[in-house]
Amino acid sequence: MNGNITFTIIKPRAVEKGYIAPILNMIHKAGFKISALKMLQLTQHEAERFYAVHQGKIFYEKLIEFMISGPIVVSILKKENAVEEYRKLIGNTDPEKAEEGTIRKLYAESVRENAVHGSDSDETAAMEACFFFSEADRF
Ligand code: CMP
């Protein structure tokens, strides 16, 4: 059975450009409930831990540099089949390939500065949610 939570980050450039509210509105309209939400700035160490799976890849260093460059918004979202539904809503990792009407098509600048992160599996969603939120922080 597919899980009912996913985890998302609204990334630094999208925050800087004022897209928090438009992105949260798309999330709301798509039927997700917000279980937890906060704004923060990652340290280098936190960003490296969060993206540890990408360590060694060609884009890793620049990705970390970008992810610590300004505040982000992290959130746990609830919906039936949340991971897959949210991945449909955000579109392809590369905004040039993202489908019309998706968050990345509308708000992303490039594959690195791609507006939002979304978990890629139920297991990852659970781990990423725990990275930022305790059980007491979730509603
Ligand atoms: P995200 O969903 O946050 O997960 C890993 C991130 O790495 C991804 O979104 C992109 O921002 C970034 N990324 C993935 N592939 C590339 C790439 N080829 N070049 C630059 N950044 C990438």
pLDDT digits (tens, 9 = 90+) for 57-110: 999 999 999 999 999 999 999 999 999 999 999 999 999 999 999 999 999 999
Which residue is catalytic, options 28, 45, 54, 117?
117
Mean pLDDT, range 105-128, rounded to an integer: 97
Q: Is 60 in the pocket of ligand 1 (CB under 6 A)?
A: no
SS (H, E, C) the chain: CCCCEEEEEECHHHHHCCCHHHHHHHHHHCCCEEEEEEEECCCHHHHHHHCHHHCCCCCHHHHHHHHCCCCEEEEEEECCCHHHHHHHHHCCCCCCCCCCCCHHHHHCCCCCCCCEEECCCHHHHHHHHHHHCCHHHCC
Ligand 1 mean position, distance from CA 2 (Å): 24
Q: Is 45 a catalytic residue?
A: no
Q: Which residue's CA lies nearest to atom 12 of ligand 1?
A: 112
Q: Both ends of the chain: CA-CA distance in Å?
A: 22
- pLDDT of res. 1: 56
Q: Which pLDDT band holds residue 2 (cuts at 50, 70, 90)? A: confident
Which of 6, 55, 63, 131 is the best mutation target for the ligand 1 pocket, counting ligand atoms within 8 Å of the beta carbon and taking the most?
A: 63
φ/ψ of residue 54, rounded to 5: -95, 0
pLDDT digits (tens, 9 = 90+) for 25-59: 999 999 999 999 999 999 999 999 999 999 999 99
Does ligand 1 come within 6 angstroms of the Cβ of 78?
no
Closest CA to 87 of 124, 51, 55, 112: 124
Burial of 68 (0-12, 13-18, 19+ CB in 10 A): middle
Q: pLDDT band at 121, cuts 50/70/90?
A: very high
69 lines ligand 1 (CB under 6 A): no
